[in-house]
Structure formats: C-alpha cells, structure tokens
Amino acid sequence: MRLLTHNILSSNIKGVTNGFPLGIEVEKVVEKQVEINHDFLRNIFPKIDWKAFSDASKIMGYVELPEESPEPSVLDSDLDFLRKFHHALLELHLEEGALVCPQTGRKFPVNKGIPNMLLHEDEV
Amino acid sequence: MKFPSLSSFSSPSPMDHAQCLRLMVFNSLRAGRYIHRFWGTSTLSLDSFCAFGYPVICSRMKEIKVKDASTWCTLVPDGEPHIQSVCEDHKCSSVSVKSTPEIEKKYVHRVYDAIAPHFSSTRFAKWPKVAAFLESLPTGSLVLDAGCGNGKYLGLNSSCYFIGCDISPPLIKICVDKGHEALVADAVNLPYRTNFGDAAISIAVLHHLSTENRRKKAIEELVRVVRKGGLVLITVWAVEQEDKSLLTKWTPLTEKHVEEWRGPRSPCVRCPSSFSLESIPETEENGLSGHMKDSRESLMEDMQQSACLNPQNKDDSLVSKDGRSQQEYFVPWHLPYHRAEVSGASAVALATGLAKKDDKKGAVVYNRYYHVFGEGELERLVSGMDNAVIVDKFYDKSNCGSLCTLFMVEFGFSNMKNEIKKLLVKDTSPSLK
C-alpha cells in the first residue's frame, strides 16, 4: 500500500464519524522505484491532505518531508522537493502491518501489501 | 470517441457545463451502431455474450428437453421494502443493506475465490467504451475501480492513479502481483473518503448484488467517493425489452436453492410468487480451449449442454405468470480439472454441493449469481439520486445480453440538474458524436 492510497482511505465502520486518517502500524516497509512524472505530481499535489501524508511518511520511516504544506509554486521550482514528494507518495510501500481506525482502534490488516478493509457483520 | 476534458469542470460556469453535455449526449441507437463496429475487430470485453442469427437460436431452444424440472419454487422480486412487508419474522427488517446475503456469499464470493486464476486468464480484452472513458481523464486523476476483478482496467491510463478494490482476495492478489494498487473491500461500503476521487468505475459488478437496495447502495457509494464534477462509469448486464425471448435457458430453482437464499442472514423471502432462478449457458470466455472460439459455435454448444425450457412459460418469454419479469440467473463457470486441483477450493465446493463435476468436459462446474438488469432499470436507479445526473448511456446491441453503460456527473449547483435535464430533452441532434 502506497501513501497516496493511505491518503484516500477512511474507516467505514458503522457509527464512525471521523475515520480519517487511519493510523499505521508498521511491520515491514518496502521501497520500489518508479519513474517520476512531474505533471502527475503537480496535479495530485492539491488533492493531498498534507498533514496526514507527512505524518504517515514519518511512521513509514521517511523524515524528509516538511511538516507544513509547501506552496504549490515549489513544485515548479524545487526539483529536490519534487523527488522527495514522489518518493514518499509512490515509492514507499507498507508491505506488512495494519491500518487503525482513529475512532475505534479497530485494526485493518495489511498483508503482502494488500489492506483488507472488509468489515465484520457487527460493524455494518 | 472523444470525451470533453474533465478540466472543463474544475472551474465551472453554467454555459461550460451545457457545452460539455451537448458533446456527451447522443442518440443511443447511434451508439448501438457505433459499438457494433467494434465487435468486428474482436476488441470487446469477453464479459459480453455473443449471439448471431437470433432466429436460429430460438428454433434450437425449442427442441431442447427439460432437465431437472422437479419442484418449482419462486421468489418475491428483490427490493427489501417489499420483502419486509411479507416477512413474518419482524427481526428480518433489521438486516443492514451492507450485510452480505447468503446467495452472494455462496454464488458470487466463494465462486470467484475458487476460480480466480482461471477467471483472470480469460479477462484480457478491454471494452472500448471503458478504455475510451479512462483515456479521456486528465493527468493526475484519482480513479477508483470498485469491483476491479483481476485489475484489467487498472493503470490503463498511465497518467492517472488507480486504486482497485474487490471482495475477492485471490483476485486482488492477482492485481497486486501485476504492480497495481489494490485492496480487499466491499462495493456497498467503500473505504474511501467522501468526494475525493476524480472518477470511479464499476464494470460488470452491480449485477452480482442480489437486492435492489444493495445495488442502489453501491451506486450511492460510487457517487459519494467522487468529487463534485467527477464522473462515474457503470456497466451491467442488461436485457433489452425486445430481446427477452432470447433468454429462455432455464435451470429451475429447487427447494435447495431457496434454503440457501434464505440463509441465516438473508432478508426473509416468501414463496411462491413471481419468478424463479434460471441459468443461462456459459459464454465463450470460459470455454475449455485457450483460444477464442467462433462465438456462434460455442454459444450453440453451450446452449445444448445446459438449456431447458421453462414449463411455466410456453411462449418462452421471460415474463412469469403474474406478469413480472424474471431477472435472477445462475450462470455456470467451468473450471477445468487441472485448474481445480491447483486451487484446492474445489474439493470443498464439491463436498458441500456448491459445485458439480462434469466429466464430459473435464471440469468442475460452479454457478455464479446474476441479477440481469431490465430495460431502463439502471437508469431508474441513477435518476433517483439527487446529486448525480446521467450524461450518457448506451447499450451493446450486438450481444444477446447487452451491457448498459451510464456516465453520471455530479454538480455542486442544485439548480444545474434541471437545466441539464432541459438540455437533454431538447438536444438530440444526430450531428453529435
């Protein structure tokens, strides 16, 4: 699971009003390189919840991202930032671990990079 | 076919929207002819049925003997309010729409889990309408594929970010092994933030949901996870009114199936009433040979194997005694023995009666549950939503069972929907594409 995916995931348990962002328990992180696409990053950037993203990247072991969301202009001028943004967003994979509902503490397992977000009968 | 760029929706003005809609609305008959041209190039998805020479098929069906026509039992048509009104057990009404009914667990979830690798190997051809839609999306779009199966459409547009989800872990594993982003989730309860995606697709999924409320819920979820101005594409297996006489291959619903449908967690149903579960023959896609057979030949062959007539309807129509349409089907899937041994799930399936052996074909036969959409049914479900508008719809008329596809657009302006509806009524100019 990449951090871009984490940025869109939310707990859908019955009764939960604030299911985002999910907490992350890390057992294994894997890095997989992928080609950088500047246009893609510029278009994706405004959609990201930056706080959730930068917190998550720290949990995954990557501390290079700024805490505060940078100005969009940075994407055009700062190649170094673009590379870091790309790396955290798309190249870090949570391979083994869990995602945690912020309201109930319920854990959604992540195995072989695949989160299982299915709910039990009593959670729907 | 080109779609207007989504970027035109990002800073909307009413006239821009109207302009885009003009481009996207076109006559469904023209669409049918347009799609028919694609069929000749064999690029259509193998999800489709193939049928040529309708009169020949009809005459063959009449010759076929009735098989397994023991007890008949019929079910109340789907739609929980109706079921609740006849339900004697008051507890039934508390079942959540997000709770999976037994018939789906047995005849959708477990089947796909068992057949996943074989199923995936037959799912490679991309339906041109879906491909065109995905290719039209602007760079950086977040695309959610709900019910992605083997991930056929994930990553189709390399400038977009796709997230696939499916209820079947073996199918999701196939997606992830290909390098896609995918997770295990339920289409009636998507684990995504509200209004975050740019587009969502649901390709041949909704027809596996066994109640109208669940199908409605799945559509609501698709609209919920997409931003205002985003697009949703849905395809389902549907039957056109005039084509109903073609679908007269039946497997009668026996008492056994009714028990399975009822299950401990299903909404209560009452028999007898309107319609029975029938089965239709396999499509060429699960033929045992590796290559694509001639579609007409294989359909004939499959029909002879498993077809029988519905003794209740001598005119071979789909409409049952009390006039309601029959829409619930079992569609067989033949899993070759060598594949079944590899998966391991088939031994259990055979022991529990979930699957049968066909020694002649050397395959384990599973049944998949389908709700075949009636004419206008998908449109009706979508039209009932306040925050979504149908922008385009078409049918693949070259198939025995046609696929109906809708585009829906959400607008932030509450009065836009009426404006657009006026445009849709007025503007049916044949010059549009």
Q: Looking at residue A124, what is its pLDDT?
A: 87
pLDDT higher than 50, residue B167? yes
Given A9, A40, A43, which is nearest B191 (Cβ)?
A: A9
CA distance B297 to B397: 19
Q: Give me the mean pLDDT over the B219-238 stretch.
A: 89
Residue B295: inside a domain: no
User: What share of chain B in percent tops pLDDT 90?
Assistant: 22
**B99, B139, B184: residue with CB nearest A114:** B184
Lowest mean pLDDT among B57-71, B126-140, B155-169: B57-71
Mutation choice for B interface testing from A11, A12, A37 by most B CBs within 10 A: A12
Range with lowest mean pLDDT among A4-8, A13-17, B375-379 = B375-379
> What tokens does B294 get?
């001639």
Q: Is pLDDT larger for residue B211 or for residue B406?
A: B211
Q: Give the residue numbers spanning the domain of B153.
A: 102-243+374-424
Which is nearest to A36 in space by CA: A70, A86, A2? A86
Between residues B122 and B293, the one the model is more confident about? B122
Domain-located, residue B368: no
Q: B240 pLDDT band (50/70/90 cuts)?
A: low
Looking at CA atoms only, how far is residue B12 from chain A in angstroms? 18
pLDDT at residue B252 greater than cutoff 50 = no
Burial class (CB in 10 A: 0-12, 13-18, 19+), B315: exposed
Structural domain includes residue B107: yes
Per residue in A86-103, pLDDT tens? 999 999 999 999 999 999
Residue with tokens 């800073």: B11
* pLDDT score for B25: 28
What is the ipTM score, two decimals? Answer: 0.96
CATH classification of the domain holding B398: 3.40.50.150
A3-114 adopts what CATH topology?
A: N-terminal domain of TfIIb (2.20.25)
Tell me what pLDDT residue B32 has.
Answer: 31
Residue B117 maps to a domain: yes
What's the pLDDT band for B221 if we cut at 50, 70, 90?
Answer: very high
Confidence at B325, pLDDT banded by 50, 70, 90: low
Q: Give the pLDDT score at B385.
A: 82
Cβ-Cβ contacts under 8 Å, B141 against chain A: 43
Instruction: Tell whether B75 is covered by a domain.
Output: no
DSSP H stretches of helix in B108-267: 110-122, 128-135, 169-177, 212-224, 255-262
pLDDT attached to residue B205: 93
Edge-to-edge order in the sheet of strand B328-336? B278-279, B328-336, B363-371, B355-358
Whether residue B104 lies within 8 A of chain A, CB to CB, comes out as no
Q: Which pLDDT value is given to residue B388?
A: 82
B15 inside domain: no
How far apart (Å, rounded) are the C-alpha atoms in residues B257 and B279?
12
pLDDT surpassing 90 at residue B159: yes
Q: What's the gap in Å between the CA of A36 and the closest CA on chain B?
A: 11
Q: Is B370 helix (H, G, I), strand (E, B) or coil?
A: strand
When divided into structural domains, chain B yields a total of 1
Identify the weakest region by mean pLDDT among B98-102, B176-180, B199-203, B372-376: B372-376
What's the mean pLDDT in B186-214? 94
Provide the mean pLDDT of chain B: 62
More confident residue, B359 or B418: B359
With beta carbons under 8 A apart, name residues in chain B contacting A47.
Answer: 140, 142, 196
pLDDT greater than 50 at residue B30? no
- In this prediction, residue B151 carries a pLDDT of 96
> What is the per-residue pLDDT across A56-80, written as a single tens digit (0 to 9) for each?
999 999 999 999 999 989 999 999 9
Q: Which amino acid is at B57?
A: I
Contacting residues of A for B138, CB less than 8 Å apart: 43
Euclidean distance between CA atoms B126 and B203, whole angstroms: 11
Under 8 Å between Cβ of B371 and B108: no
With an 8 Å Cβ cutoff, is B195 touching chain A?
no
Segment B224-228 shows an average pLDDT of 91
pLDDT tens digits, one per residue of B255-313: 344 444 433 433 333 323 233 343 433 443 333 333 333 333 333 333 333 322 222 33
Q: Specify the pLDDT at position B420.
A: 53
Q: Is B250 left (phi over 0), alpha (psi -120 to 50) or beta?
A: beta
Q: Do A47 and B191 touch (CB under 8 A)?
A: no
pLDDT above 70 for B250: no
